[in-house]
């Protein structure tokens, strides 16, 4: 699952764990596998030793697991070739696509290294080592209760620890808190900056089923793509350069063509982004009744507006494809999470667990600091609830103009003009940066579409937020000329779009030729955004910050208490974009009464679902359909069939997208790409009955590369088992 778009800042909240953790539940830290999981994994059939998963001095599996920041990838060749999901490479494919070279629609296969496409801004990070630095981070804290003091001390020690570990910038060193701030770990990465696109199937394969099938099983999506890491001559990270060479990895994951059976051991390593498994019932309620409905409404309006323009113009369709997919993914996620919270009655269950905790806290004076924790937290939520809608609408409906993205680079240039009226090299550098940003931005920007979004979102804003709560710059629009709100908004926006330089590539590029502070300061978009920001800073932000601080504190204490309350329980930290391992089995499920879902799908399902209509989410081209009908599957079949996707009960979340799914021997049997509809509450509570990971079968991946695309050069690079 790809990392989600979060409109809110992190909403800190928490919950109780069941007293037992099933082997399938848990996102375990590689460093602790030996201590916490090795025995259990062996019992479940895993055949490698914990040292083969993680160790510092010799090559191990961890050296082939790559963070793409928002997704995961894995190294499958001696030449730095990586597999990930199509939806993880989607922006890269989209950015390289034009009407003439439509790689989204037609796929892309590099025949040689030379043909591989650059992906500006894409990095690939490999974990070198991790370390528990809790003692060092917390050592100077004297007064536990002084939250501000605590934060300051922690920030200072984290800064020092990461600075030392980065070895003068050779490594990326990050300290992350675990167990809600009760522990701290240092992660040292080697971060490569030259990553290229090697291959991708057309959308009709890589995104088959589109948003309709997204988050659902049964699935028939070939959700994979190939990337490659490039390094300098010394095999070290370097910025893009034509003469960089393919990276020589320490470890390569072999690809299995043998498949799996129900119940087989399966594990996943990757970089899950964020879970909130210790959320309280009050936190869940906040999510379900306030945050989710607002996000669903706001995202839904934006998607509806984009879609109209995308359907009308194939160029806009390409320009907005990646943005649309990202929002559509999060939008459906929030809908599913709310449905699940309702259906599984999780809040009620959580409440009774919380009562048990409070009883325990009251039972001994030693635990008295946890006695009022839950009720205090409920109190702290209230003021935040009051402003939540207003804040979200301001950020998303008020600040909806896409061209705002260029204000910052322009402002950097403007400030330099103000200060350094002579330093021409600094100015030239900033101009170049702004120009590059602008070129990248305008390639996928349509002024008319932006106008449609701005007006539609403002309309929603003034419809949904009571007049008295609207910020002055919005009220001013409604005070303008026109017969009704829609009319006033249109007039205002028409004027904004006629005058602002940001919504026009010509005007902005002209400004870049001869930047001046005055026209920047006077630009109506700059003025409007500043007014909104000032209002937000004065009205909402203090409430938001207060809540964030309070809940962070609660979160830490609550988990500290829970760990005492359930002494024998094996806890794992919430996902936080650090490397984790989850293990379990290949497994079917029963989504509802009398319905059984098999643990794998085959190409038969593609024949059942496909459409000849090119605009359909289920379009499949003749080449694929012909191969399937002729059963021309090459060596990738099982009993005459070709599997497309399969299920495991592994514990993953957004950020794990693209992660390798491995068998008992550590060979790749598939790539994780989604979660299922019945367990959309999974980030808050792990339900062993319903929670599944959806994986694309390695053999389907090989079939597409080999038989469909004829890219045998890539197959030859891999180590097939």
Which of residues 55, 292, 319, 657 is near ligand ARG by CB under 6 A?
A: 657
| 650 near ligand ARG (CB under 6 A) | no
Task: List the one residue from 72, 214, 395, 650 that touches ligand ARG (CB under 6 A).
Answer: 214
325 touches ligand ARG (CB under 6 A): yes
Interacting stretch for ligand ARG, rule CB under 6 A, among 211-219, 400-408, 588-596, 662-670? 211-219
Question: Does residue 220 interact with ligand ARG by CB under 6 A?
Answer: no
Q: Which is nearer to ligand ARG, 60 or 695 (CB)?
A: 695
> Of 214 and 650, which CB lies nearer to ligand ARG in the complex structure?
214
Classify 277 as helix, strand or coil: coil
Give the Cα separation of 392 and 298 in Å (integer). Answer: 9
Q: Are 719 and 255 in contact (CB under 8 A)?
A: yes
Asked if residue 210 binds ligand ARG (CB under 6 A), the reply is yes
Dist CA 548 CA 122 (whole Å)? 31
CA dihedral 553→556→557→558, nearest 10 degrees, is 110
DSSP helix/strand/coil, 267: strand
| Residue listed under structure tokens 């300290």 | 175
Interface with ligand ARG by CB under 6 A: which range of 7-15, 324-332, 522-530, 551-559? 324-332
Q: What is the DSSP string of 93-116?
A: HHHT--SSS-HHHH-EE-SSGGGP
Q: Tell me the C-alpha distance between 93 and 102, whole Å.
A: 9
Cis preceding-peptide flag for 218 (omega within 30 of 0): yes
Least separation in angstroms between CB 606 and ligand ARG: 16
Which part of the chain contacts ligand ARG (CB under 6 A), choosing from 7-15, 210-218, 537-545, 698-706?
210-218
CA distance 249 to 247: 6
Q: Least distance to ligand ARG from the beta carbon of 688, Å?
A: 21
Strand partners, 197: 117, 227
Of 37 and 97, the one with the shorter C-beta distance to ligand ARG is 97
Residue 411, SS3? Answer: helix
Q: Identify which of residues 24 and 674 has a Cβ nearer to ligand ARG in the complex.
A: 674
Catalytic residue among 157, 500, 657, 659: 657
Q: To the nearest 10°, report the CA torsion of 87, 93, 99, 101.
A: -130
Compute the chain's Rg from CA coordinates: 26
- Site membership for ligand ARG, residue 87 (CB under 6 A): yes
For residue 83, the minimal CB distance to ligand ARG (Å) is 15
As beta bridge partners, residue 645 has 696
**Tokens of residue 21, six digits:** 């953790």
Pick between residue 4 and residue 401 the one whose CB is nearest to ligand ARG: 4
User: Across the chain, which distance is largest between two alpha carbons, in Å?
Assistant: 77
Within 10 angstroms of residue 98's Cβ, the number of other Cβ atoms is 12
Residue 674 binding ligand ARG, by CB under 6 A:
yes
Catalytic annotation present for 577: no
Q: Decide: is 659 part of the binding site for ligand ARG (CB under 6 A).
A: no
Nearer to ligand ARG, 211 or 638 (CB): 211
Copy the structure tokens of residue 384. 């935040």
Rounded-to-integer distance, Cα 391 and Cα 456, Å: 18
Q: Is 271 in the site for ligand ARG (CB under 6 A)?
A: no
Whether omega before 164 lies within 30 degrees of 0, making that bond cis, reads no
Is residue 707 involved in binding ligand ARG (CB under 6 A)?
A: no
Closest residue by Cα to residue 406 from 365, 450, 363, 459: 450
Kindly state the smallest distance separating residue 84's Cβ from ligand ARG, in Å.
11
Between 193 and 220, name the residue whose CB sits nearer to ligand ARG: 220
Rounded CA gap, 4 and 13, in Å? 18
Q: Which of 24, 67, 77, 87 is catalytic?
A: 87
Q: Which of residues 599-618 bind ligand ARG (CB under 6 A)?
A: none
Of 328, 457, 503, 696, which lies in the binding site for ligand ARG, with binding defined by CB under 6 A?
A: 328
Q: What angle do CA 60, 61, 64 make, to 5 degrees?
A: 110
69 binds ligand ARG (CB under 6 A): no
Which stretch, 206-214, 338-346, 481-489, 711-719, contacts ligand ARG (CB under 6 A)? 206-214
Give the count of residues interacting with ligand ARG (CB under 6 A): 14
* Cα angle 296, 225, 274; round to 5: 40
- Is 234 catalytic? The answer is no
Q: Which is nearer to ligand ARG, 96 or 330 (CB)?
A: 330
From the list 196, 95, 78, 81, the residue with the least C-alpha distance to 705 is 81
Task: Using the minimum distance from each CB to ligand ARG, give the nearer residue, 281 or 653.
Answer: 653
Nearest by Cα to 188 from 152, 218, 155, 163: 163
Q: To the nearest whole angstrom, how small is the minimum distance from the Cβ of residue 94 to ligand ARG?
A: 12
| Contact criterion met (CB below 8 Å) for 699 and 234 | no
State the nearest-atom distance from the C-beta of 210 to ligand ARG, in Å: 5
Q: What is the 3-state secondary structure (H, E, C) of 130-143?
A: EEECHHHHHCCCCC
Q: Which secondary-structure segment (H or E) carries 421? A: none
Q: By the 8 A CB rule, do 687 and 606 touch? A: no
Pick the binder of ligand ARG from 132, 151, 211, 313 (CB under 6 A).
211
Residue among 338, 300, 382, 302 at smallest CA distance from 683: 338
- Closest approach, Cβ 334 to ligand ARG, in A, equals 12
Shortest distance, position 674 Cβ to ligand ARG, whole Å: 5
Per CB under 6 A, 654 contacts ligand ARG: yes
- In the bound state with ligand ARG, the residue whose beta carbon lies nearer, of 116 and 223, is 223
Q: Judge whether 86 counts as a catalytic residue.
A: no
Minimum CB separation of residue 529 from ligand ARG in Å reads 29
CB of 380 to ligand ARG, least distance (A): 31
Q: How far is the CB of 87 from ligand ARG (least distance, A)?
A: 4
Catalytic residue among 223, 309, 651, 683: 223
In whole angstroms, give the CA distance from residue 417 to residue 427. Answer: 7
Q: Which of 444/674 has CB closer to ligand ARG?
A: 674
Active site residues: 87, 223, 657
**Which residues make up the interface to ligand ARG (CB under 6 A)?**
1-2, 87, 207, 210-211, 214-215, 325, 328-329, 654, 657, 674
């Amino acid at each position: 699952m790809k990392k989600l778009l979060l409109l809110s800042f992190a909403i800190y909240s928490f919950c109780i764990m069941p007293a037992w953790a099933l082997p399938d539940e848990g996102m375990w830290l590689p460093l602790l596998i030996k201590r916490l999981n090795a025995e259990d994994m062996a019992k479940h059939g895993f055949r490698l030793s914990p040292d083969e998963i993680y160790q510092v001095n010799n090559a191990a599996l961890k050296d082939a697991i790559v963070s793409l920041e928002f997704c995961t990838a894995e190294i499958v060749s001696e030449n730095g070739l990586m597999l990930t999901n199509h939806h993880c490479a989607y922006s890269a494919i989209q950015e390289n696509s034009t009407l003439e070279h439509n790689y989204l629609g037609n796929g892309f296969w590099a025949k040689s290294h030379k043909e591989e496409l650059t992906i500006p801004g894409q990095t690939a990070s490999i974990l070198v080592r991790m370390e528990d630095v809790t003692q060092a981070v917390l050592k100077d804290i004297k007064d536990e209760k002084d939250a501000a003091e605590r934060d300051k001390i922690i920030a200072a020690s984290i800064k020092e620890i990461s600075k030392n570990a980065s070895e003068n910038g050779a490594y990326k060193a990050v300290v992350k808190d675990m167990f809600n701030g009760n522990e701290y770990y240092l992660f040292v990465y080697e971060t490569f900056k030259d990553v290229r696109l090697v291959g991708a199937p057309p959308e009709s394969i890589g995104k088959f089923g589109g948003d309709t099938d997204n988050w659902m099983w049964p699935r028939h999506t070939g959700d994979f793509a190939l990337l490659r890491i490039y390094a300098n001559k010394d095999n070290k990270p370097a910025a893009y350069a034509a003469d960089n060479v393919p990276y020589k990895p320490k470890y390569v994951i072999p690809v299995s063509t043998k498949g799996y059976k129900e119940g087989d051991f399966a594990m996943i390593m990757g970089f899950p982004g964020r879970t909130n498994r210790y959320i309280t019932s009050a936190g869940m309620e906040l999510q379900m009744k306030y945050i989710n409905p607002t996000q669903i409404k706001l995202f839904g309006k934006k998607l509806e507006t984009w879609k109209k323009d995308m359907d009308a113009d194939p160029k806009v369709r390409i320009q907005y494809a990646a943005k649309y997919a990202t929002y559509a993914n999060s939008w459906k996620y929030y809908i599913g999470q709310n449905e699940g919270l309702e259906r599984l009655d999780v809040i009620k269950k959580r409440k009774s667990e919380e009562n048990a905790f409070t009883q325990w806290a009251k039972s001994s004076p030693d635990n008295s600091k946890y006695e009022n924790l839950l009720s205090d937290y409920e109190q702290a939520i209230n003021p935040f609830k009051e402003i939540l809608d207003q804040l979200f609408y301001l950020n998303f409906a008020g600040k909806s103009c896409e061209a705002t993205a260029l204000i910052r680079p322009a402002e950097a240039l403007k400030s330099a003009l103000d200060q350094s009226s002579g330093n021409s090299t600094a100015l030239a550098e900033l101009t170049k940066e702004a120009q590059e940003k602008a070129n990248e931005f305008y390639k996928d920007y349509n002024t008319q579409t932006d106008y449609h979004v701005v007006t539609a979102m403002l309309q929603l804003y003034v419809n949904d937020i009571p007049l008295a709560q609207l910020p002055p710059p919005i009220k001013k629009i409604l005070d303008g000329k026109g017969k009704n709100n829609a009319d006033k908004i249109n007039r205002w926006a028409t004027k904004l779009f006629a005058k602002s330089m940001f919504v026009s590539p010509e005007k902005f590029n002209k400004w870049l030729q001869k930047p001046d502070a005055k026209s920047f300061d006077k630009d109506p978009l700059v003025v409007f955004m500043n007014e909104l920001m000032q209002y937000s800073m004065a009205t909402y932000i203090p409430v938001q910050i207060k809540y964030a601080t309070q809940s962070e504190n609660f979160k830490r204490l609550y988990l500290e208490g829970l760990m005492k309350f359930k002494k024998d329980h094996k806890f794992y930290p919430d996902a936080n974009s650090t490397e984790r391992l989850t293990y379990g089995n290949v497994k079917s499920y029963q989504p509802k009464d009398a319905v059984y879902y098999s643990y794998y799908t085959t190409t038969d399902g593609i024949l059942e679902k496909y459409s000849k209509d090119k605009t359909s989410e289920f379009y499949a081209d003749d080449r694929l359909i012909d191969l399937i009908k002729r059963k021309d599957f090459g060596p990738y079949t099982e009993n005459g069939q070709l599997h497309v996707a399969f299920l495991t009960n592994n514990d993953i979340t957004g950020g794990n997208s693209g992660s390798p799914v491995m068998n008992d021997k550590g060979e790749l049997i598939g790539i994780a790409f989604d979660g299922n509809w019945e367990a959309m509450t999974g980030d808050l509570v792990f339900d062993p009955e319903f929670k599944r990971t959806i994986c694309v079968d390695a053999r389907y991946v090989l079939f597409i590369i080999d038989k469909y695309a004829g890219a045998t050069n890539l197959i030859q690079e891999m180590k097939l088992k």
